[in-house]
Amino acid sequence: MALLPYCEYCGKETGILPFVCNYCGGTFCAKHRLPENHECSLDLEYRNKVFKERKRKTELRRKVRYIGVRGRRSIVGTYLLYIIVIIPSILAFFYPYYLCISYFTIYQLFTPYPFIWTIFTSLFVVYFSNIAEFIYFVILLFFSYYFIRTIENKYGPKRLLYIFFGCSVLGGVIYLIIYFFYGYFSLISFFPIGLASSGLLGLCLFSLLDSHYKSWHFSKYSLKASYVIWFLVLFNICSKIASTALSYGAINPFIEPYFMGYLVGFNIPWYIYDYFGLLGAVVLYQGYFKRNY
């Protein structure tokens, strides 16, 4: 049987919640709770200790609020990542072959003017060439913000960028491997691509794998985070099909449906290279972060 606290002045049990004196720190009953009723020594040492403890908790709470979900410091990496993605993506709309991986990157490596730098610059580009791909670009930035912010709050801005570049690089490597085996038989070599979209999708999946909260809450409604990723994947496919239709439809308005199927089927790597970043997220999480954090 657990012993209940007792009054240090009269010895009577005080119940579960005793009165604690703010000056001497003793426990007393309701009758002797005041300092003048238990001959308090009015020692201020205990009071100063309590005051310092409360002050420390207040300062700690202020720091947690400052670096928390809504703090400034917690989303510096998120803003930085968005800046280094949005600006090159806009520039790539006007100069795609100077910033994206394309025919000039692969087949002109040994020419006097190779476009070798595009392998690096493509890591920061989400390429869009028409309204369908631009809408996907905006939607991807909007939804990925919540996933990216969650990762940065837990791992910090430096590891956030590591995960992003890891997903983008792995997606680019797999794409180039498929490119060499598949690109000779399709029109894929003429399509410029940016690898930042695979990195952003990889961050979304990484956040879902790492988080214990599998849903978002908007006012009275909740939405599973996995549905958001599926929505981004399906919208990406639709935007690329629409992009193909817009591109070749502008050349030939009377294009046949079977020829559209031919274009889609023979350019499959161009449609799926974004999803290699999802594979990169699984590799990084299962291979390193799950074991070390």
pLDDT at 238: 84
Instruction: Report the CATH fold assignment for 1-42.
Output: Zf-an1 domain (4.10.1110)
Name every residue whose Cβ is closer than 8 Å to that of residue 228 and which is 6 or more positions away in sequence.
Answer: 143, 204, 216
> Structural domain boundaries of the chain?
1-42, 75-291
Give 162 or 61, the one with higher predicted confidence. Answer: 162
User: How far apart are alpha carbons 10 and 26 in whole angstroms?
Assistant: 12
C-alpha pair distances (Å), 126 with each of 150, 204, 272: 22, 15, 14
- What digits encode the pLDDT tens for the residues 187-206? 455 678 888 999 999 998 89
Give 247 or 173, the one with higher predicted confidence. Answer: 173
pLDDT at 64: 52
For residue 63, pLDDT over 70 is answered with no
Mean pLDDT of the chain: 75
| Least confident interval from 68-77, 169-178, 193-202, 222-231 | 68-77
For residue 163, pLDDT over 90 is answered with yes
For residue 150, pLDDT over 90 is answered with no
Average pLDDT in the 128-136 region? Answer: 88
pLDDT at 45: 54
pLDDT at 68: 45
Tell me the pairing of strands 221-224 and 215-218: antiparallel
Name every residue whose Cβ is closer than 8 Å to that of residue 262 and which is 6 or more positions away in sequence.
Answer: none
pLDDT band at residue 118, thresholds of 50, 70 and 90? confident
pLDDT band at residue 212, thresholds of 50, 70 and 90? low
**What interhelical angle do 131-155 and 225-251 show, nearest 10?**
150
pLDDT above 70: percentage of residues in the chain: 67
Residue pair 126/196 in contact (Cβ under 8 Å)? The answer is: yes
pLDDT above 90: percentage of residues in the chain: 16
User: How far apart are alpha carbons 111 and 76 in whole angstroms?
Assistant: 41
For residue 52, pLDDT over 60 is answered with no
